[in-house]
Amino acid sequence: MNKHKDVKIVVQGGGSGTGLTQVSQGAADIGNSDIFATEKSGIDASQLVDKQVCVVGMTAVVNPSINIENLTTQQLVDIFTGKTTNWKDAGGPDQKIVLVNRPKASGTRATFKKCALGGAEEAAGIEEDSSGTVRKIIKDTPGAIGYLALSYLDGSVKVVGIDGVEPTKENIVTGKYPVWAYMHSYTRGNPSGAVEAFLNYLMTDDVQKTIVPELGYIPETEMKITRDAGGNLKNK
Amino acid sequence: MERVGKPACSLTLRGGNVKKNLTYQLFNLGRSELLGKMLTTGAVAVAIITTVTIVFFIAVKGISTFSSSGVSVFDFLFSTKWLPDRPLEEGGPQVGVLAFILGSVIVSMLAVLLSAPLSVACAVFIQEIAPYWGQRILQPAIEILAGIPSVVYGYIGLSLLVPFIRNYIGGLGFSVLAGILVLSVMILPTIVSISTDTLRALPREWKEAAYALGSTRWQAIRLVLIPAARSGLITGIVLGLARAFGEALAVQMVIGNTRKIPTSILDPVITLTSAITMDMGNTLSGSLWNNALWSMGLLLLLMSCFFILIVRLVVRKGGITP
């Protein structure tokens, strides 16, 4: 900020769709989102240029009283689609399962549904529009299960691995753990001037090695694989 | 009040300071009454234009769900299938909001059912039973309730009420019951203050006549005052209902927002307002999903028009109102 006094940056909050809408309407120079522009209907994705700045992992989390360390994909799908309603059917205690979802329009839910549940439709459960509230509810409600971005973990809820793989940074960068999303910075057309300079700055070690991991994200530069909008993995 | 106010006002104009009089004379404002007219007309114009613009905007956006996306009004109102993200190949996006409408109706109706008798009783106490400290202590205390921001109500509900219900009554805590309790406290001041004003406006002679005929205080209240204040009390209750219907934040924090029709008072539920706030940040303007949220907004607007209409009818039908 001190180095570039003539550039003013205004950051505005919003959900996964807000950034995309604002940038495609020209209301913002850079639109951030955790989904691919092609996944959102109503956006002209061909106009937008995608810069993947970092990666965030997402994990299933349960109330600390549930003594489960790991679930198979099938168990997870059964739980979230409402087929399994008691923890004892998934190897846990005799306790009713309480689903805690994010709203359907949330990027976290979209990623979790696509990568962890194979696109299966979740059953109706409690819905909260912020990850902080989801974390609080899972912590307080016996038998609760939900999902959070790794950046929201603070030890108050229990992390559950999927198919024996823990949601760690190592497992994500090598593509072993499937539930993660890019943090995209979109521009309308190729960036230029201050916008280009800022996006380039985001990819420097200054940001990638310090700020990004501090906030609980994984630097794009450390990813050993890439993934496209269709979900196909490739070695970098 | 009026009799005292008028001469004081003209005094300052006639005497007052010289500079002020000069401007008045220069623009001929004092004599022509133009300034006052302009100010009031301008204020009214701003109010009307704002209202009309908002209503127009909501209507245009809300109607486009049906006009441009081709959803039938019947499906929108009477289907419980909320699948706005489902692709066309798998049955298409569906935006049925019946569960949200029922959630709103159930929670706000029950809240009014709980709050209305309580509020009317409070109003009677303030006005008839203990007017001295009722009006000096109780009424201001109830008015403070109206000043507490709804997010604070929600936070208290989330931190105290939800765990209490979970631990001592049952269910998840996030429930219809929690929503009702939070809302009934929130609408209490609305109903109490309108009811108190109505009771106050009743002619004193009616009560005295009741006493003269040998009524006890309770009989006078029950048989004379409450029936006479009927239309004002109903107005208060309907406005309370309107407030309950429109409240979003506090309710959203305690009802659990489950998109299903509740079968028990301990089940989580979702209302129209909370369904809008849940999705609005993440949907793209112009998409069916976003338009459906506007349609819900339009529905809320129509509901509040309906409530206002009821109030107007009740008032016109006569009786004493504040």
pLDDT at B54 over 90: yes
**Are residue A95 and residue A117 in the same domain, yes or no?**
yes
ipTM computed for the complex: 0.78
Q: HEC profile for B26-85?
A: HCCHHHHCHHHHHHHHHHHHHHHHHHHHHHHHHHHHHHHHHHCCCCCHHHHHHCCCEECC
**Are residue A190 and residue A222 in the same domain, yes or no?**
yes
Residue A44 counted as domain residue: yes
Task: Work out the average pLDDT over B162-182.
Answer: 92
**Structure confidence at residue B302 (pLDDT):** 93
User: Quick check: A65 and A76 in contact, CB under 8 A?
Assistant: no
The pLDDT-based confidence of B75 (bands split at 50, 70, 90) is confident
A36-47 pLDDT, tens digit per residue, is 888 776 677 888
CA distance B265 to chain A (A): 15
**Structure confidence at residue B270 (pLDDT):** 93
Residue A5 counted as domain residue: no
Residue A213 counted as domain residue: yes
pLDDT at B159 over 80: yes
Q: Positive or negative, the Cα torsion across B181, B183, B185, B191?
A: negative
A95-147 pLDDT, tens digit per residue, is 999 999 988 878 888 889 988 998 888 888 898 888 888 999 999 889 999 99
Neighbours of B218 (CB within 10 A): 11
A41, A103, A124 member nearest B287 (Cβ): A41
**Structure confidence at residue A9 (pLDDT):** 85
The pLDDT-based confidence of B35 (bands split at 50, 70, 90) is confident
User: Quick check: A20 and A207 in contact, CB under 8 A?
Assistant: no
**Are residue A124 and residue A39 in the same domain, yes or no?**
no
**Structure confidence at residue A194 (pLDDT):** 87
**Are residue A190 and residue A231 in the same domain, yes or no?**
yes
Task: Work out the average pLDDT over B29-33.
Answer: 62
Mutate to test the interface with A, among B282, B285, B287 (most CBs of A within 10 A): B282
Question: End-to-end CA distance of chain A, in Å?
Answer: 33
Choose the final residue of a domain: A153, A173, A193: A173
Burial track A177-200 (b if 16+ CB lie within 10 A, e otherwise): bbbbbbbbbbbbeebeeebeebbe
A178-191 pLDDT, tens digit per residue, is 999 999 999 988 88
pLDDT at B194 over 90: yes
Task: Work out the average pLDDT over A142-154.
Answer: 91
Question: How is domain B100-316 classified at the architecture level of CATH?
Answer: Orthogonal Bundle (1.10)
CA distance A143 to chain B (A): 10
Residue A9 counted as domain residue: no
Do the bridges between strand A144-149 and strand A98-101 make them parallel or antiparallel, or are there none, so unpaired?
parallel
User: Quick check: A48 and A187 in contact, CB under 8 A?
Assistant: yes
B86: closest chain A residue by CA = A121
Q: Which residues contact A33 (CB under 8 A, 6 or more apart)?
A: A16, A17, A19, A20, A107, A184, A186
Choose the final residue of a domain: A138, A157, A173: A173
B114-145 pLDDT, tens digit per residue, is 999 999 999 999 998 888 888 889 888 988 98
**Structure confidence at residue A179 (pLDDT):** 92
Residue A221 counted as domain residue: yes
Q: What is the DSSP letter of A136?
A: H
The pLDDT-based confidence of B17 (bands split at 50, 70, 90) is low
pLDDT at B52 over 90: yes
Picking from B199, B255, B12, B277, the residue whose alpha carbon sits closest to that of residue A137 is: B255
**Structure confidence at residue A13 (pLDDT):** 78
**Structure confidence at residue B63 (pLDDT):** 92
Half-sphere exposure of residue B30: CA atoms within 13 angstroms, side-chain side: 14
B174-187 pLDDT, tens digit per residue, is 999 999 999 999 99
Is the CB of B281 less than 8 angstroms away from the CB of A105?
yes
| Residue where the block lists tokens 């704002």 | B50
**Are residue A141 and residue A158 in the same domain, yes or no?**
yes
User: Residue B173: its chain A contacts at CB < 8 A?
Assistant: 141
pLDDT at A3 over 80: no
CA distance B321 to B194: 9
Q: Give Cα separations from A95 to A78, A89, A91, A165, B47 (angstroms).
A: 16, 10, 11, 25, 56
**Are residue A198 and residue A227 in the same domain, yes or no?**
yes
CA distance B51 to B58: 11
B77-122 pLDDT, tens digit per residue, is 998 888 887 777 777 788 899 999 999 999 999 999 999 999 999 9
Residue B283 forms contact with A (CB below 8 Å): yes
The pLDDT-based confidence of A21 (bands split at 50, 70, 90) is confident
pLDDT at A200 over 70: yes
Residue A11 counted as domain residue: no
**Structure confidence at residue B2 (pLDDT):** 39
**Structure confidence at residue B123 (pLDDT):** 93
Is the CB of A128 less than 8 angstroms away from the CB of B163?
no
- Which amino acid appears at position B237 of this protein? I
**Structure confidence at residue B26 (pLDDT):** 59
Q: What is the DSSP letter of A47?
A: G
What are the phi and psi torsion angles at B280 (to 5°)?
Answer: -65, -30
**Structure confidence at residue A40 (pLDDT):** 74
**Structure confidence at residue A233 (pLDDT):** 80
Domains in chain A: how many in total? 2
**Structure confidence at residue B318 (pLDDT):** 61
**Are residue A30 and residue A90 in the same domain, yes or no?**
no
The token pair that represents B265 in the structure block? 């008072």
**Structure confidence at residue B82 (pLDDT):** 86
**Structure confidence at residue A44 (pLDDT):** 77
Choose the final residue of a domain: A154, A173, A192: A173
Which is more confidently placed, A30 or A18?
A30
The pLDDT-based confidence of B236 (bands split at 50, 70, 90) is very high
In terms of residue numbers, what domain contains A213? 16-55+180-235
- Which amino acid appears at position B45 of this protein? A
Residue A230 counted as domain residue: yes
Question: What is residue A33's three-state secondary structure?
Answer: strand
**Structure confidence at residue A228 (pLDDT):** 83
The pLDDT-based confidence of B7 (bands split at 50, 70, 90) is very low
B252: closest chain A residue by CA = A128
pLDDT at A71 over 60: yes
Q: Show which of residues 202-241 on chain B sit within 8 Å of chain A, judged by CB atoms.
A: none
Q: Give Cα separations from B25 to B16, B18, B83 (angstroms).
A: 13, 10, 67
Q: Show which of residues 243-262 on chain B sit within 8 Å of chain A, judged by CB atoms.
A: 252-253, 256-260
The token pair that represents A93 in the structure block? 């205690």
For residue A68, the domain's CATH number is 3.40.190.10
**Are residue A39 and residue A82 in the same domain, yes or no?**
no
Quick one: angle between helices B176-201 and B230-246, nearest 10?
150
Which is more confidently placed, B12 or B65?
B65
**Are residue A149 and residue A206 in the same domain, yes or no?**
no
The percentage of residues in chain A with a pLDDT greater than 70, rounded to a whole number, is 98
**Are residue A50 and residue A61 in the same domain, yes or no?**
no
**Structure confidence at residue B4 (pLDDT):** 41
**Are residue A49 and residue A109 in the same domain, yes or no?**
no
**Are residue A131 and residue A161 in the same domain, yes or no?**
yes
pLDDT at B322 over 80: no
The percentage of residues in chain B with a pLDDT greater than 90, rounded to a whole number, is 57
Domain ranges of chain B: 100-316
B279: closest chain A residue by CA = A105
The token pair that represents B113 in the structure block? 């059912």
User: Quick check: B83 and B89 in contact, CB under 8 A?
Assistant: no
Burial track A76-90 (b if 16+ CB lie within 10 A, e otherwise): bbbbbeeebeebeeb
Q: Which residues contact B43 (CB under 8 A, 6 or more apart)?
A: none
Can you spell out the DSSP letters for B108-134?
HHHHHHHHHHHHHHHHHIIIII-HHHI
B90: closest chain A residue by CA = A121
